[in-house]
Amino acid sequence: DGEGGARGEAGPCGAGGGGGAGVATGGIGGHEYRGSFIAGVSEVAGQDILFVSVGVFELSRGLPVLANEMRRRGHRVQVVVPKQSLSIARVTYGFDIPLVGVGDGLSPENLLQNWVGKTSALSPVIGVLLPTSEFALPLAEDMMRDMIHLGQLPVEFNPDIVVADRLAYAAFDYADLIGKPLIVNHPGLVGSAPFEVEDGEPPPKGNLVHGASERTKKFLVRVSLLPSFMRINKRRWELKLPVHRGYGDVLGRRITLYNSHPHALDSPSSLSSSSIQTGPLISQSAMPLLESQMDALDSLRPGSALFNIGLTFLFRHDLDELAEEIERAKIDSWWLFYPKSYIPSVNTSFLADITQSPRILSHPNIGVAVVPCSLDAVLESLFYGKPVVCISVLEEHLEVARRLEETGAGLGVRRVMGNSRSLGSLVVSGIRKVTRDQDHFTNARLMAESLRMNDGVREAGDVIEAALVSGIEHLIPRSRALPLHQELSVDIYATYASIAIVIAALLRFATTVLLEFTKSSARYLSGRLPKFAPKVPSPLFLDKPFLGPSIADQPLDLWKTHQD
Burial degree of 402 (CB within 10 A; 0-12, 13-18, 19+): middle
Q: How many domains does the chain have?
A: 3
% residues pLDDT > 90 (the chain): 16
Together in a domain, 142 and 236: yes
Q: For 436-446, how does the pLDDT look when each residue is reduced to its tens digit (9 = 90+)? A: 999 999 999 99
Together in a domain, 479 and 428: no
Together in a domain, 124 and 139: yes
Burial degree of 439 (CB within 10 A; 0-12, 13-18, 19+): exposed
Burial degree of 524 (CB within 10 A; 0-12, 13-18, 19+): exposed
Q: Which of the pair, 207 or 275, is modelled with greater confidence? A: 275
At residue 29 the predicted structure's pLDDT band, cuts being 50, 70 and 90, is very low
CA neighbor of 117 nearest in space, from 310, 314, 311: 314
d(CA 80, CA 495): 34
Q: Which of the pair, 268 or 290, is modelled with greater confidence? A: 290
Give pLDDT, residue 12. Answer: 34
Give me the mean pLDDT over the 103-115 stretch.
Answer: 79
Dihedral angle at the C-alpha atoms of 196, 198, 202, 203, nearest 10 degrees? 0
Burial degree of 432 (CB within 10 A; 0-12, 13-18, 19+): middle
d(CA 184, CA 170): 12
d(CA 514, CA 526): 18
Q: Which of the pair, 249 or 81, is modelled with greater confidence? A: 81
Q: In what order do the strands lie in the sheet with 161-165?
A: 99-102, 76-82, 48-52, 161-165, 182-186, 254-258, 275-277
**Residue 545 domain flag:** yes
At residue 378 the predicted structure's pLDDT band, cuts being 50, 70 and 90, is very high
Give me the mean pLDDT over the 519-538 stretch.
Answer: 62
The residue segments making up the domain with residue 297 are: 291-453
Together in a domain, 156 and 174: yes
CA neighbor of 361 nearest in space, from 341, 397, 336: 336
Together in a domain, 296 and 418: yes
Together in a domain, 331 and 388: yes
Give pLDDT, residue 412. Answer: 92
**Residue 511 domain flag:** no
Give me the mean pLDDT over the 107-122 stretch.
Answer: 72
Exposure string of 84-123, with b = 16+ CB inside 10 Å and e = fewer, is: bbeebbebbbbeebebbbbbeeebbbebbbebbeebeeee
Give pLDDT, residue 429. Answer: 92
Give pLDDT, residue 205. Answer: 46
Give me the mean pLDDT over the 105-123 stretch.
Answer: 72
Residue 487: in which H helix or E strand, if any? helix 484-490
pTM: 0.74
Together in a domain, 371 and 479: no
Q: In what order do the strands lie in the sheet with 31-38?
A: 21-28, 31-38, 41-42
At residue 177 the predicted structure's pLDDT band, cuts being 50, 70 and 90, is confident
At residue 123 the predicted structure's pLDDT band, cuts being 50, 70 and 90, is low
Together in a domain, 460 and 443: no
Q: Is the pLDDT of residue 1 over 80?
A: no
User: Cα 443 vs. chain centroid, distance in angstroms?
Assistant: 29
* Per-residue DSSP letter, 16: B
* Per-residue DSSP letter, 10: B
Q: Answer with the one of 443, 465, 490 that is the final residue of a domain.
A: 490
Give me the mean pLDDT over the 27-38 stretch.
Answer: 43
**Residue 103 domain flag:** yes
Residue 283 vs residues 12, 189, 344, 359, 445: alpha-carbon distances, Å: 12, 19, 27, 11, 18
At residue 348 the predicted structure's pLDDT band, cuts being 50, 70 and 90, is low
**Residue 26 domain flag:** no
**Residue 519 domain flag:** no
Q: Is the pLDDT of residue 161 over 90?
A: yes
Q: Is the pLDDT of residue 131 over 90?
A: no
Give pLDDT, residue 347. Answer: 56
| Mean of all residue pLDDT scores within the chain | 74
Give me the mean pLDDT over the 267-276 stretch.
Answer: 71
**Residue 12 domain flag:** no
> In this structure, what CATH number is given to the domain that contains residue 467?
3.40.50.2000
d(CA 271, CA 264): 17
**Residue 518 domain flag:** no
Together in a domain, 335 and 449: yes
Give me the mean pLDDT over the 150-157 stretch.
Answer: 67
**Helix H segments across 305-437?**
316-328, 357-361, 375-383, 395-407, 423-436
Contact in structure between 372 and 309 (CB atoms under 8 Å): yes
Q: For 240-263, how does the pLDDT look when each residue is reduced to its tens digit (9 = 90+)? A: 888 777 666 666 678 888 888 777
- 162-176, 382-396, 457-471, 514-528 — which is least confidently predicted? 514-528
Contact in structure between 168 and 80 (CB atoms under 8 Å): no
Give me the mean pLDDT over the 480-494 stretch.
Answer: 48
Give me the mean pLDDT over the 340-350 stretch.
Answer: 63
Give pLDDT, residue 292. Answer: 81
At residue 193 the predicted structure's pLDDT band, cuts being 50, 70 and 90, is low
At residue 216 the predicted structure's pLDDT band, cuts being 50, 70 and 90, is low
**Residue 521 domain flag:** no
Q: Which of the pair, 368 or 327, is modelled with greater confidence? A: 368
Together in a domain, 473 and 440: no
Together in a domain, 141 and 210: yes
Together in a domain, 473 and 558: no
Give pLDDT, residue 529. Answer: 52
Q: Which of the pair, 352 or 283, is modelled with greater confidence? A: 283
Residue 64: in which H helix or E strand, if any? helix 62-72
At residue 534 the predicted structure's pLDDT band, cuts being 50, 70 and 90, is low
Give pLDDT, residue 231. Answer: 80
Q: For 287-334, how does the pLDDT look when each residue is reduced to its tens digit (9 = 90+)? A: 777 788 888 888 888 888 888 876 667 777 888 888 888 888 888 888
Q: Which of the pair, 32 or 282, is modelled with greater confidence? A: 282
